[in-house]
Amino acid sequence: MSILRRLAALFRVKANKALDQAEDPREVLDYSYTQQLEMLQKVRRGVADVATSRKRVELQVDQLQLSAGKLQSQAQQALGTGREDLAREALTRRSAVLSQVGDLQGQEASLRAEEEKLTAATQRLQAKVEAFRTRKETIKATYTAAEAETRISEAVTGISEEMGDVGMAMQRAQDKTEQLQARAGALDELIASGALQDATLPAGRDDIQARLDAATAGGDVEQELARIKAQLPATAAPPALGAASPNDQPAAAAAPPEENPS
Amino acid sequence: MIVRILGEGQFDIPGEHLGELDLLDARLQSAAEAGDEAAFTAASQALRDAVHRHGAPVPADALVASELVLPAEDTSLDQVRALLADEGIIPG
């Protein structure tokens, strides 16, 4: 038998089993209806879970884009103070952040597609459950042993297949959601560690910014020192300073301090 | 004939196109037997395309079982094998 026929048969197994086991096929109608209502509830929760997960990813993308923008301006600031090493580091991190953004956006799109499929599947199931309820009441009201079995079997196998399909769609969506949640969790940790920079940290500080500030502040201190020295009478200069560094000039002191390359 | 594409719902295919479906079904079958993932994916996609092309969506409130069930998009050969090997995978 072909794969497609075997798959179709597979979806009928459960319904057939239930029908075979029931002494009166009408029992299956009520039993199946209860299961349908449960399935509808489960699927609706599933859609809500997928939506929550997707929103979390969107939030992370926003955060990362803020970080990328911040790293860009840090690079500009660093170049402005002659710190090409810091600018390079900021831009390296920025490209790592942007690659994460790209990945997340891809995943977000695929989760959105799952969400749409699951929503459509939920609507189909809802319509079928409603049709089943009507059919169930009609069958019960006009019950004659001769026709009931066929009609019940039709209705039950028809909806059972839909439930199987929706159940599988939900499983797929949940698997994707779990993968995404794992990834989002790992990324949250990475952001918290400062490796990708989190622009939403309370103080909005990070090590690149701290070093930039230190470089600028260091420059200010040296400039101020030089200015004060220049105002002092030449004789007042302590001999020890000149002895330690004979070539020391105020202009040289005003230059940004050397920093150990990290 | 009523055909279901998993994840998409049911379609009604007019009789004159059943030959085409049979042909593609046979291609899917031999790809699966040969373990040829690429051929399987191609045949599977060709089947879904044919159903989309020739089929009319079955109304949502119709209660009817399908004669053929097609795997969802992105379903690998291994996933289909697992499905066929274990009926317990199908919920509902």
Residue A253: predicted pLDDT: 46
User: If you count residue pairs, one on A and one on B, with CB atoms under 8 Å apart, how many are there?
Assistant: 117
* CA A81, A84, A86, A90 torsion-angle sign: positive
Q: Is the pLDDT of residue B31 over 90?
A: yes
**Residue in A closest to B83 by C-alpha:** A7
Domain that holds residue B8: 2-86
Per DSSP, the residues of B43-72 read HHHHHHHHHHHH-EEPPTT-----SEEEPP
In angstroms, what separates the C-alpha of B53 from chain A's closest C-alpha? Answer: 18
Residue A199: predicted pLDDT: 36
Instruction: Kindly list the residues of chain A whose beta carbon comes within 8 Å of any beta carbon in chain B.
Output: 2-8, 10-14, 35, 39, 117, 120-121, 123-124, 127-128, 130-132, 135, 154-155, 157-172
DSSP state of A204: -
Q: Quick check: B4 and A159 CB within 8 A?
A: no
* Residue B39 falls inside a structural domain: yes
Q: What ipTM score was computed for the predicted complex, to two decimals? A: 0.91
Contact B82, A29 (CB under 8 A): no
Alpha-carbon span A109 to A59, nearest angstrom: 14
Q: Quick check: A158 and B65 CB within 8 A?
A: yes
Contact B80, A3 (CB under 8 A): yes
Smallest Cβ–Cβ distance between B4 and the set A130, A135, A165 belongs to: A165
Taking 70 as the pLDDT cut, the residues of chain A under it are 143, 145-146, 193-207, 215-221, 234-262
Residue A133: predicted pLDDT: 94
* Residue B43 falls inside a structural domain: yes
Residue A116: predicted pLDDT: 92
Smallest Cβ–Cβ distance between A168 and the set B61, B84, B90 belongs to: B90
Q: 3-state DSSP call for residue A104? A: helix
Q: What backbone phi and psi angles, to 5 degrees, belong to B56?
A: -105, 135
Residues of A in contact with B66 (CB under 8 A): 8, 11, 161
Q: Quick check: A154 and B63 CB within 8 A?
A: yes
Instruction: Kindly list the residues of chain B whose beta carbon comes within 8 Å of any beta carbon in chain A.
Output: 3-4, 6-9, 25-26, 28-29, 32, 47, 59-72, 80, 83-84, 87, 89-92
* Residue B19 falls inside a structural domain: yes
Q: Is the pLDDT of residue B14 over 50?
A: yes
* Number of structural domains found in chain B: 1
Tens-place pLDDT, residues B33-83: 999 999 999 999 999 999 999 999 999 899 999 999 999 988 999 989 888
Q: Which of A88, A86, A36, A94 is nearest to A65 (CA)?
A: A94
* Residue B72 falls inside a structural domain: yes
0.80 surpassed by pTM: no
Residues of B in contact with A120 (CB under 8 A): 9
Alpha-carbon span A19 to A207, nearest angstrom: 69
Residues of A in contact with B47 (CB under 8 A): 4
Q: Quick check: B91 and A6 CB within 8 A?
A: no
Residue B40: predicted pLDDT: 95
* Residue B55 falls inside a structural domain: yes
Distances (CA, A) of A81 to A85, A252, A256: 11, 16, 8
Alpha-helical (H) ranges within A81-206 are 84-141, 145-193
Residues of B in contact with A14 (CB under 8 A): 87, 90, 92
Residues of B in contact with A155 (CB under 8 A): 63
Strands B56-57 and B2-5, by their bridges, are unpaired
* Residue B8 falls inside a structural domain: yes
Q: Quick check: B90 and A120 CB within 8 A?
A: no
Residue A25: predicted pLDDT: 79
* Residue B91 falls inside a structural domain: no
In angstroms, what separates the C-alpha of B37 from chain A's closest C-alpha? Answer: 15
Residue A245: predicted pLDDT: 47
* Residue B74 falls inside a structural domain: yes
Alpha-carbon span B75 to A8, nearest angstrom: 16
